[in-house]
């Protein structure tokens, strides 16, 4: 324990030194995109931005339903995104564009060039120019460093997050101490200011024009949002896009004015609705199935499991072989303690998509219950790597314990106990540590 304490002290000193020497804690810099003077936090290096954004992005993808398993559509969205990114103020960034399998209409950007659009927003767009408007807007948030501007107003908090991550790494399980995505959720749920939204709108329009897109697509997108607001947006919109990206009629008018002054020749042609419709064809076919899936999840949350299971089955008929729907059905059977069909549907979900944490962990849990520890270990190890949750860590520790990896089990039990000292899992992990035989 003395050696571990010394490691933690050294790590603390190193973090303080790094924060001081890289200029995160003091000084100002001029943002090259906006021309504004800002705290030096936004002047962090590209490598530092990536080190912040990449792990948060991977966690965010998992927390929002995983990556949509449609390789052709993903490639199409990426091509549009990269076409815009090359025209941005920061083409040196290795931008990444993904589609998350979430019905809530939304899009988000994280530091370092990590951008995602949800299935729920993509399926509601009309043409490629509108898609370019969404992605261009998110690129604008990245190039203007808007997420970092929010962090700079709480530099002490930022330093603390970095310090906690460093301390956790010393114990070997940093992500558990961050509670599996807490930092990602903070970055994504951050509400942009009106000025930041206006700035990203303008930057996105500029990038669209430079990339050869019709900027009128941005106005069409805003008009669609306006109709949603006027007609009373449903909770999915209010809890998704409109929560972090506040919309107003003034913002729509400002975009119209900006295009008319800056790009008066824009004619509203060439928005490529045909190519877009072809690209989202498979997504359109599954739209009804996912609508039924969402209704089933609502019933499940209300505790109406039998009704939910029936709707999940209906969703599968409407959208066959969709891993997320299969996972939902498997989990519903599991909560109903009907383990045979639960295992059947979860096995199929993992077979179709092996990079979604929830199906992996649920299947691992079922194998644990059957005392098939080797199989459980395979699933739990994979699920824990995708999104290291406390529950996943505890189950993986149990699997390691029963497959002979006592040292690995101890390390995970200890991490869970420290991360959740007063919670049920933390207390249980501490109890398991006391019961385990000492290592020889």
From CA 356, how far away is CA 364, in angstroms rounded? 13
Does residue 313 share a domain with residue 237?
no
Between 129 and 55, residue with greater pLDDT:
129
| Confidence check: pLDDT of 17 > 50 | no
Tokens of 24: 């995160």
pLDDT for position 249: 79
Question: Has residue 270 been placed in a domain?
Answer: no
R_g of the chain computed on alpha carbons: 24
Half-sphere exposure of 325 (CA within 13 A, CB side): 26
CA atoms within 13 A on the CB side of 112: 16
Q: Is the pLDDT of residue 40 over 60?
A: no
Q: Show Cβ contacts of residue 195 under 8 Å, excluding neighbours closer than 6 positions.
A: none
Q: Which tops the pLDDT comparison, 422 or 244?
A: 422
Give the Cβ contact number of residue 220 at 10 Å.
Answer: 19
Mean pLDDT (the chain) is 83
Q: What is the pLDDT of residues 207-226, one digit of tens each?
A: 999 999 999 999 998 888 77
DSSP string for residues in 316-385 = HHHSTT-HHHHHHHHHHHHHTT-HHHHHHHHHHHHHH-S--HHHHHHHHHHHHHTT-HHHHHHHHHHHHH
Q: Within a domain: residue 275? A: no
Of 339, 387, 338, which is closest to residue 363 (Cα–Cα)?
Answer: 339
pLDDT at 278: 96
Identify the band that residue 167 occupies on the pLDDT scale cut at 50, 70 and 90. Answer: very low
Residue 118 lies in a domain: yes
pLDDT for the residue numbered 247: 62
CB 251 within 8 A of CB 195: no
Question: Looking at the predicted structure, is the pLDDT value of residue 189 above 70?
Answer: no
256's tokens: 């119209």
Q: Are residues 248 and 317 in the same domain?
A: no
* DSSP-H helix ranges across 117-192: 119-122, 128-143, 146-152, 155-171, 174-177, 182-189
Partners of 107 in the β-ladder: 117
Q: Is the pLDDT of residue 317 over 90?
A: yes
Q: Report DSSP letters for 83-99, one per residue.
A: HHHTTSS-TTS--EEEE
**Least-confidence region, from 17-21, 158-162, 192-196, 302-306:** 17-21
Confidence of residue 251 (pLDDT cuts 50, 70, 90): confident
Residue 205 placed within a domain: yes
* pLDDT for 73 beyond 80: yes
Report how far residue 393's alpha carbon sits from residue 383's, in angstroms, rounded to the nearest whole number.
Answer: 10
Last residue of a domain, one of 227, 247, 262: 262
- Give yes or no: residues 254 and 315 share one domain: no
What pLDDT does 231 receive? 60
Domain stop point among 228, 262, 296:
262
Please check whether residue 39 lies inside any domain of the structure: no
Checking if the pLDDT of 440 tops 80, the result is: no
- In 21-76 the beta strands, taken as DSSP E runs, fall at 28-30, 37-39
Mean pLDDT confidence for 354-365: 98
Is residue 277 domain-resident?
A: no
Q: Closest Cα partner for 192 from 201, 180, 181?
A: 201
295 and 199 inside one domain: no
State what percent of residues in the chain have pLDDT above 70: 75
185 shares a domain with 63: yes
Residues 292 and 257 grouped into a single domain? no
Instruction: Report the range of poorest mean pLDDT among 40-49, 71-80, 373-382, 419-428.
Output: 40-49
The answer to whether residue 39 scores a pLDDT higher than 90 is no
What is the band of 184 on the pLDDT scale with cuts at 50, 70, 90? low
Q: Directed axis angle between helix 71-85 and helix 128-143, to 10°? A: 60
Q: Are residues 226 and 85 in the same domain?
A: yes
In a domain, 34, yes or no: no
| Residue 295 placed within a domain | yes
At residue 49, the pLDDT reads: 86
Mean pLDDT of 399-416: 95
Q: What's residue 336's pLDDT? A: 95
State the virtual CA torsion across 276, 237, 358, 181 in degrees, nearest 10. Answer: 110
**28: its two tokens:** 């100002």
Do residue 218 and residue 364 come from a single domain? no
**Res. 146 pLDDT band, cuts 50 70 90:** confident
CATH number for the domain harbouring residue 399 = 1.25.40.10
Give how many domains the chain has, as a whole number: 2
Question: Do residue 356 and residue 311 come from a single domain?
Answer: yes
Name which of 186, 179, 187, 48 is nearest 110 in CA terms.
Answer: 187
223 plus 301 within the same structural domain = no
Co-location of 185 and 315 in the same domain? no
Q: What residues make up the domain containing 223?
A: 44-262
DSSP secondary structure of 217-239? HHHHHHHHHHHHHHT---HHHHT
Is 50 exceeded by the pLDDT of residue 20?
Answer: no
**255 and 343 part of one domain:** no
């Amino acid at each position: 324990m003395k050696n571990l304490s010394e490691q933690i002290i050294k790590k603390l000193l190193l973090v303080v030194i790094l924060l001081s020497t890289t200029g995160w804690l003091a000084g100002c810099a001029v943002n090259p995109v906006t021309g504004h003077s800002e705290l030096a936090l936004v002047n962090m290096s590209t490598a530092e931005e990536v080190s912040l954004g990449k792990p948060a992005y991977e966690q965010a993808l998992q927390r929002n339903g995983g990556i949509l398993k449609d390789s052709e559509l993903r490639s199409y969205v990426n091509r549009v995104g990269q076409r815009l990114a090359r025209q941005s103020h920061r083409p040196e960034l290795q931008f990444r564009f993904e589609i998350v399998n979430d019905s809530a209409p939304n899009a988000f950007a994280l530091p370092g060039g990590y951008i995602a659009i949800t299935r729920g927003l993509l399926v509601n767009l009309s043409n490629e120019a509108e898609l370019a408007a969404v992605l261009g807007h998110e690129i604008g948030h990245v190039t203007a460093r808007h997420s970092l501007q929010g962090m700079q107003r709480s530099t002490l908090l930022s330093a603390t997050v970095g310090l906690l991550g460093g301390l956790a790494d010393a114990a070997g399980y940093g992500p558990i101490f961050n509670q599996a995505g807490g930092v990602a959720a903070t970055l994504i749920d951050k509400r942009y200011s009106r000025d930041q939204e206006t700035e990203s709108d303008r930057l996105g329009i500029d990038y669209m024009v430079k990339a050869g897109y019709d900027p009128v697509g941005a106005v069409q997108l805003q008009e669609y949002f306006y109709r949603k607001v006027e007609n009373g947006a449903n909770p999915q919109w209010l809890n998704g896009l409109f929560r972090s990206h506040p919309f107003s009629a003034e913002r729509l008018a400002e975009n119209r004015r900006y295009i008319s002054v800056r790009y008066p020749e824009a004619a509203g042609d060439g928005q490529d609705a045909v190519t877009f419709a072809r690209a989202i064809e498979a997504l359109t076919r599954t739209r009804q199935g996912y609508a039924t899936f969402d209704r089933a999840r609502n019933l499940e949350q209300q505790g109406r499991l039998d009704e939910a299971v029936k709707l999940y089955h209906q969703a599968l008929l409407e959208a066959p072989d969709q891993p997320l729907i299969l996972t939902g059905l498997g989990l519903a059977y599991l909560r109903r303690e009907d383990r045979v069909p639960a295992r059947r549907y979860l096995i199929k979900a993992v077979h179709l998509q092996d990079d979604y944490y929830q199906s992996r962990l649920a299947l691992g849990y079922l194998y644990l219950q059957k005392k098939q520890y080797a199989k459980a270990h395979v699933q739990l190890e994979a699920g824990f790597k995708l999104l290291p949750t406390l529950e996943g860590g505890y189950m993986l520790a149990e699997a390691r314990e029963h497959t002979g990896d006592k040292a690995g089990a101890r390390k995970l039990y200890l991490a869970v106990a420290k991360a959740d000292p007063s919670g049920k899992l933390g207390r249980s992990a501490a109890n398991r540590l006391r019961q385990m035989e000492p290592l020889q």
